[in-house]
Amino acid sequence: MVFHSHQHVPNVFTPNGDKSNDEFFIDVTNGKSIEVHIFNRWGNKMFDITDFKTKWDGKDAAEGVYFFTYTIEGMNGEIREGQGHVTLINK
């Protein structure tokens, strides 16, 4: 496998400023590009991630479950697509 997304993509994050689990991101090794779109439960887009440095901090978002889609291109041109959910807890 030339690239992979981390086997454990967090499904909960707590943007409370304690420097632990404050941001949501997909950890990728040997990726060329990434595109992640995060939506609330009504389908409204909340945030886009379009590079490997950007992380969603959940600011201005209500506590709850958010859904995301992703497209990742590896250095060899292989494309991986998927979806998932993440719970934001404001504590």
> What is the full per-residue pLDDT of the chain (91 aa) written as tens digits?
345 544 457 788 988 888 888 999 998 888 899 999 999 999 999 999 999 999 999 988 999 999 999 999 988 899 999 999 999 998 7
Give pTM, 2 decimals: 0.87
**Single-letter amino acid, residue 72:** I
